[in-house]
Structure formats: C-alpha cells, structure tokens
Amino acid sequence: MSIEVRRLTEAEFEPEVDFINLVFSQNSVPHNFKRLCPRWIRPELTGYNIAALRDGRIRSLVMAAPAEVHIAGHTLKAVGIGNVSTHLDERRTGLMQMCMTRTIDEMKEQNVDFSFLGGLRQRYNFFGYERCGYRIGFTLYIRNLRMTRGEAPAYTFRKVKCADDPALPDIRALYEAQPLRVNRGDDMTFFRTLQMWTCDPYVCTDADGRFIGYVCARPDAASLNEVFAVTDDAVLDLLNAWITQHNPNPVGLGQPLSIGIHPWARGLQRKLYAVSEGISVAPDHQYRVFNWDRVTAAFFALKATYAALPDGHLTLGIEGWGNLSISVTNGQAVCEKTDAAADIMLTDFEALRFVFGPLPSVSVKAVDPKFEPLLEAWFPLPLAWHGQDNV
C-alpha cells in the first residue's frame, strides 16, 4: 500500500473535515471543526493541509496556516500549526512525523520567521518547538469588582452576528491599534476570527450608545478569549458589567471570570493586579524560531514601547542557528547574525526559554554574574499571541 505526502486540494475539503472530526472526537469529546475553527476550516483553505494518504485515503494531517504579523513597526511571517491528527489505525507508523517534517521543510524554504502551536511539550520538542513566551492570567469574582469599582455601569452587550454589523469597523480599529496584531483579512475573515473556538463576539456600548469595546466570549460566559476597550479603566468597567449581567445573584463567590493579558499591557496589568483574586504567569505557546535576528529585533522594539532598555551588548550562541549579536543604544536594539564569539552558549531550546521566558534567563542557564543586570532588564522579551489567532 503506497503512501503519498502532499498538500490537499479544495476538492478534498469534506474528507479533511470528516477526518479531523473523527480523530479528535475519538480522542476526547465530540468535535465540529466547522464551528470550532471557522477562520481556517474553509474549502478555499484546504491547501494549507499537508496530509499523508494511503491508497488515496487521508491517514494523517497537519494544517500549516500562514500569518502576517505586525509588531511595533516590524512585519514578520509566521505559521500556525493545528489539527495535527493521525487515524487510530495508523498510530506509531511515522505518518505524523512525515507530515510535520514536510511542513517544517516548506517553512524553511518560504523563509518563515517563526512558528507556533499547542500540544504536548515533548511531542513537539521532537520538531524543534519549545514552550516559552508568557501571558498573565487573572481570575475575578463579582465581589472583586463590586468592592473596588462599585456598581457596574449601564453597559449593553450586543452579539455581533455578521460581517456587515455596523460595530465591526470600531471593533477592527480597536484590534488593529494593538502593538502586536495579525492581519485578519477582509471583514468576513475578521468576523470568522472573532468566532474562533466556539466564541461569540459582543460589542459593548454605554448608556449613550458610545462604543466602549468588545469581547469574544466562550458559551459559558466565564472565559473571555479576547477583551479590548478604549482605555484600561474601560476594560475594568466592561468586566464589571459583564460579570454582573452574567452572574447577577451569585451563590457564595459565584462563577469566576478568567482572562489572559499580554505582557506589553502594563497599565492594564497594574489595574487588574490590584483587584483580581487570582494571578498566574504561564508560557504562552510552543514556538520555533527560524530567523532569530528578525524575531528578536521585532520583540525588542515591542518591549521598548513600555520598558526602559539599558545600553549594552551581548552575543548569544544558538545551537543549530549561529551567533546572535544584540546591541542596545539609547533604547534601540540592533539584532544581527555574527561570526563573533558568543558570550553565552545555548541549545536551541535553552535559547527560546532564555530570551522569551516566562522565567528569568538565569533560571534557564547559569551565566557570568557580570551579564545578569543586562539580562534582567532585557529579558524575557514579550513573545505572546492573540488566542483568537490560534490555528
């Protein structure tokens, strides 16, 4: 029986969907990928899938979806990996490895800057991905907000049901004002992105009908995958209104509300830290960096928008890539590949954790103490991702 590894065609869209629904439903709970991932599960995007076919039948599959990422004036090419699946009868036959290897080879050929995915850490270590980056999680109960913010404002939340909703331009403008954003395409593609992961988007307005912000809420209303508002204070007022309207008469503490905040949102972090019941810092995703110079330059530029970067120079040796020269002058970083000797040598996995956290660099590798002040000020760089842009 012959094995063929290739990109799927649009004519194979329904077999693709049937396959991933079958595999994921057998592995955990029933899945409906057309509802779960409306941004990516589209006939015209079937070619993003690299599959292993045995006698013409899909037996393993990897989706590799491109993303144009804008970060503090830099534009990077990223690829999100998702829907990694193998038929139960084909487990441990090497088909998934064949699909992932082909996917990574193509990313290198296309000069992709970095790639991201979710899943078991050691499974994807095998393909060069490591758990790193960071996001700050906050847990709030209704009392946290009532006792610090007072009664909830008279905000209205209206479900956004279509791509030509009159609120969509305001929602898009707010998202596109973020210092890290993904090109979400035309209005229909943008709307489908807001619906990812079974979320419903809601626009928030005040009593006078003025736009306050929006949320992408899971069906239980207790998890908000995306929350943006016109000011940091408006975010807290929005959360106060949301939790009050969805949990008006709590028994005990009531249902908690969970949100994740990006590392660059320092002002919002301060406000939420002052009122939240629970706080956590955790790796954002699993990442693989192909172009270390371009990626670190972009995230240094992002960090410079909210933190002081002291002048200095450091050369990191990264196994399998080469040496990365980092120089900061007057808060501006220059990152480039160099033949100069490395000050600190790192494996590829150590480099991802060392530069992007979430723990301090010295928690990854012991270094000469003379480098520690610079490392503490520069790292971790704020590598993080918008959940709605996952694949």
pLDDT tens by residue, 310-342 = 999 999 999 999 999 999 999 999 999 999 999
In this predicted structure, what is the pLDDT of residue 254? 79
**Tens digits of residue pLDDT in 255-283:** 889 999 999 999 999 999 999 999 999 99
Average of per-residue pLDDT across 234-254: 85
CB-based contacts of 324: which residues, under 8 Å, 6+ apart? 292, 293, 296, 315, 316, 317, 318, 335, 336, 337, 338
pLDDT at 251 over 70: no
Which of 263, 282, 301 is where one domain is finished? 282
Which of 232, 247, 282 is where one domain is finished? 282
Nearest to 296 by CA among 267, 269, 318, 319: 318
pLDDT at 1 over 80: no
In a domain, 124, yes or no: no
Model confidence pTM above 0.85: yes
CA distances from 340 to 315, 343, 345, 375 (A): 8, 9, 12, 19
Give the number of other Cβ atoms within 10 Å of residue 84's Cβ: 22
In a domain, 151, yes or no: yes
Instruction: Yes or no: say if 116 and 78 are a contact pair by the CB < 8 Å rule.
Output: yes
Average of per-residue pLDDT across 204-212: 98
In this predicted structure, what is the pLDDT of residue 249? 62
In a domain, 121, yes or no: no
pLDDT at 221 over 90: no
Bridging pattern class, strands 322-329 and 332-338:
antiparallel
pLDDT band of residue 98 (cuts 50, 70, 90) is very high
**Tens digits of residue pLDDT in 65-84:** 999 999 999 999 999 999 99
Nearest to 355 by CA among 305, 313, 316: 316
In a domain, 127, yes or no: no
In this predicted structure, what is the pLDDT of residue 258? 92
Instruction: Yes or no: say if 33 and 41 are a contact pair by the CB < 8 Å rule.
Output: yes
pLDDT at 11 over 90: yes
CB-based contacts of 74: which residues, under 8 Å, 6+ apart? 294, 297, 298, 301
pLDDT at 253 over 80: no
* Mean of all residue pLDDT scores within the chain: 96
| C-alpha span between 203 and 343 (Å, rounded) | 50
Average of per-residue pLDDT across 97-111: 98
**Same domain flag for 262 and 317:** no
In this predicted structure, what is the pLDDT of residue 163? 98
pLDDT at 28 over 90: no
The H or E element containing residue 167 is none
Instruction: Yes or no: say if 38 and 192 are a contact pair by the CB < 8 Å rule.
Output: yes
Tracing tokens 């991201």 back to the chain, one arrives at 116
**Same domain flag for 200 and 271:** yes
In this predicted structure, what is the pLDDT of residue 247? 77
**Same domain flag for 63 and 168:** no
Instruction: Return the bridge partners of 201, or none.
Output: 216
Nearest to 221 by CA among 244, 251, 194: 244
Average of per-residue pLDDT across 200-214: 98
Q: How many domains does the chain have?
A: 3
In this predicted structure, what is the pLDDT of residue 250? 66
Find the distance separating the first CA and the last CA of the chain, reported in whole Å: 31
In a domain, 126, yes or no: no
Which of 264, 282, 300 is where one domain is finished? 282
pLDDT band of residue 132 (cuts 50, 70, 90) is very high
Angle at 225 between CA 299 and CA 228, to 5 degrees: 70
User: Containing domain of residue 294, as a range?
Assistant: 286-378
**Same domain flag for 337 and 251:** no
In this predicted structure, what is the pLDDT of residue 180? 98
In this predicted structure, what is the pLDDT of residue 203? 98
Q: What is the CATH number of the domain that holds 310?
A: 3.30.1050.10
- The more confidently predicted of residues 374 and 28 is 374
CA distances from 344 to 128, 313, 318, 374 (A): 20, 12, 9, 13
Average of per-residue pLDDT across 86-110: 96
**Same domain flag for 345 and 265:** no
Give the number of other Cβ atoms within 10 Å of residue 6's Cβ: 12
In this predicted structure, what is the pLDDT of residue 27? 79
Angle at 176 between CA 174 and CA 181, to 5 degrees: 130
Instruction: Yes or no: say if 317 and 323 are a contact pair by the CB < 8 Å rule.
Output: yes
Task: Using DSSP, state whether 203 is helix, strand or coil.
Answer: strand
Tracing tokens 């990897």 back to the chain, one arrives at 62
Nearest to 157 by CA among 136, 171, 146: 171
pLDDT at 168 over 90: yes
In this predicted structure, what is the pLDDT of residue 2? 87
- Whether omega before 166 lies within 30 degrees of 0, making that bond cis, reads no
Q: Where are the alpha helices (DSSP H) in 110-200?
A: 121-125, 142-149, 168-176, 187-194
Instruction: Yes or no: say if 218 and 197 are a contact pair by the CB < 8 Å rule.
Output: yes
Is the four-CA dihedral 120, 125, 127, 129 of positive or negative sign?
positive
Q: What is the CATH number of the domain that holds 153?
A: 3.40.630.30
